[in-house]
Amino acid sequence: MTASLPAMAGTPLSLTEAIDRALEYNFAIKSAVKDSAAAAFAYAGTKAERFPSLTLDARSRFVDQLPALQLPSGTKEIGSKDSYQADISLTVPLYTGGRLSNRIGLERENVFIQQAQLDARRLAVAYRSRNAYLNLMASQVTAKAAEASLERLRIINQDVNALYENGLADSLDLLESALALEKGRHMLDQAQLGLHNASCALAQAIGASLQDEMEPTEPLPAPVPPDSLRGYATERIDRPELKAQDHVISAAQRAAAVQTGGYAPSVSGFAGYSYGMPNQDWFNKTWNDYFSGGVMLKWELNLGGKTGRGVQAAKMRALSARLAKEELEDSFRLQRDLAVNALRHAYRAYLISEREYAMAQRQYNLARLRQQEGRLSVNRLLEMEADLNAAEQRHRGSIVDYYLALNDYLYALGSPKIFGGLL
């Protein structure tokens, strides 16, 4: 069974197309893409610290007085009033106590965090766009039910007028049928307003003009028992937020390792070339150059225990991240369980509304026959029509409610099915 929807003179749009357009248009996703790219550049920049660094230092200066050396033959100035110096050095880290490697690992974890956050935003946008699409379908079925009700009321009004002309109905019957017809027009007007608003909401989500009426083309199949869905209620929660939290924990552990590296010295190698005047020849004032090379060791220990406190602080942040993940897992498990219960309830509500709608149709058909035979008042027939209209709306709405509940369930799991069609 597939529920048919009223045709709209608008832009045809499938559910998958709506989701794709929403993902492409959403500004939060675009922002997250930039954040992810920034993290990747930061990671590449930190990795580059493993490579040698080239430094150029060039300067020129003039002094008006120079130190002088007293010699038996006279006074000899040391240096030159005009000096020119250029130094080029190449430095490469040899040992950092694990600080550099753990900083690189920390930046790598940040890349994973940003990617997971991007995935979380994509999942949320897909969930919201599906809801907007389904709400539009719900508004369509409400409008269809209102149209069907108005058509039944028109027929009743015509019948009452014909009976009145033949003396089989009085003016009160005419007034009751006319009043019911006006109420039906009002209900249809309200349903069409809701339909337009739902279309605008979907258009805004996908970046379309609000003046364009969206026409869902997705078929609306009859709900299936939840237990028949593959992996129903047993699938593992795979939310991107949990993956992000895993990398937050790893990043905190890396940060603790960086702090621990503060106990170790840093060793680096260097090579340099120097050229200038007077450079090393302080007496002849000539241009000369030389090469140099060696190893540097730097070991800094804070006597107030700064390094140890930094290590403890980083470890506490790592423990906090683990506890935050456990809390997040608890909230997602609750969200999944509530979604499972809601989906089961939505399916039961669909079955009940289906039976109720079938009985309301039979009841209305029998009532109409009795009214035509003069054995039922017009007022009672109008009550039957109102009951039928309400049952029809509940039945058609229960189908969409089922898929809205299914959408909640898919989102609670973090299922990739949320990016596809209804089933």
Q: Would you say residue 2 has pLDDT above 70? A: no
Taking all residues of the chain, what is their mean pLDDT, rounded to a whole number? 87
Is the pLDDT at 7 greater than 70? The verdict is no
Residue 215's Cβ-count burial label (10 Å; 0-12, 13-18, 19+) is middle
Which whole number is the average pLDDT over 370-391?
80
pLDDT of 1 over the 60 cut? no
pLDDT at residue number 163: 74
How confident is the model over 257-266, as a mean pLDDT? 89
CA-CA-CA-CA torsion for 106, 112, 113, 119, nearest 10 degrees?
180
Confidence at residue 234, expressed as pLDDT on a 0 to 100 scale: 56
pLDDT of residue 210: 82
Give dist(CA 411, CA 120) in Å, integer. Answer: 10
How many Cβ atoms sit within 10 Å of the Cβ of residue 117? 19
Q: How far apart are CA 40 and CA 48, in angstroms?
A: 12
Average pLDDT over residues 167-174: 77
124: how many CB neighbours lie within 10 A of its CB?
17
**2 — phi, psi (to 5°)?**
-130, 130
Question: What are the C-alpha distances in Å from 348 to residues 103, 225, 351?
Answer: 55, 9, 5
- DSSP assignments along 109-148, one per residue: HHHHHHHHHHHHHHHHHHHHHHHHHHHHHHHHHHHHHHHH
CA-nearest of 128, 130, 51 to 92 is: 51
pLDDT in tens, 317-355: 999 999 999 999 999 999 999 999 999 999 999 999 999
* Domain 2-53+97-265+320-419, second-level architecture: Up-down Bundle (1.20)
In tens, the pLDDT along 67-97 reads 666 677 766 666 677 788 899 999 999 998 8
- Measure the CA–CA gap between 3 and 142, rounded to whole angstroms: 12
Q: Which residue has the higher pLDDT, 153 or 120?
A: 120
Q: What are phi and psi of 102, to 5 degrees?
A: -75, -30
Among the residue ranges 76-90, 216-230, 294-308, 327-341, the one predicted with the least confidence is 76-90
pLDDT above 60 (res 300): yes
pLDDT band at 3 (very low <50, low <70, confident <90, very high): very low
Q: What gap in Å lies between CA 314 and CA 324, rounded to an integer?
A: 15
How many CB atoms neighbour CB 49 within 10 A?
A: 12
Domain parsing of the chain, residue ranges: 2-53+97-265+320-419
Highest mean pLDDT among 42-51, 211-220, 227-236: 42-51
Q: Give the residue-averaged pLDDT of 49-59.
A: 91
What is the reported pLDDT for 327?
Answer: 94
- Average pLDDT for residues 286-313, to the nearest whole number? 87
Task: Give the range among 166-175, 266-275, 316-325, 386-395 with minimum mean pLDDT.
Answer: 166-175
Strand ranges for 235-355 from DSSP E? 266-277, 288-298
Structure confidence at residue 69 (pLDDT): 67
The answer to whether 258 and 49 have CB atoms below 8 angstroms apart is no
The torsion angles phi and psi of 13, rounded to 5 degrees, stand at -155, 125
pTM for the model stands at 0.83
User: Which amino acid is it at 283?
Assistant: F
Q: How does pLDDT run across 136-165, given as a tens digit for each residue?
A: 999 988 888 888 888 888 888 887 887 778
Residues 6+ positions from 5 with CB-CB distance below 8 Å? 137, 140, 141, 144, 216, 220
Q: Please, which pLDDT band fits residue 8 given cuts at 50, 70 and 90? A: very low
pLDDT value, residue 74: 65
Element of type H or E holding 70: strand 68-71
> Rounded to an integer, what is the distance from CA 277 to the centroid of its chain?
63
pLDDT of residue 307: 84
| pLDDT interval class at 233 (50, 70, 90) | low
Position 18 confidence tier, pLDDT thresholds 50, 70, 90: very high
| Predicted local distance difference test score (pLDDT) of residue 89 | 93
Local confidence band at 5 (pLDDT 50, 70, 90 cut-offs): very low
pLDDT range class, residue 6, cuts 50, 70, 90: very low
Q: What pLDDT was estimated at residue 232?
A: 56
Predicted local distance difference test score (pLDDT) of residue 121: 96
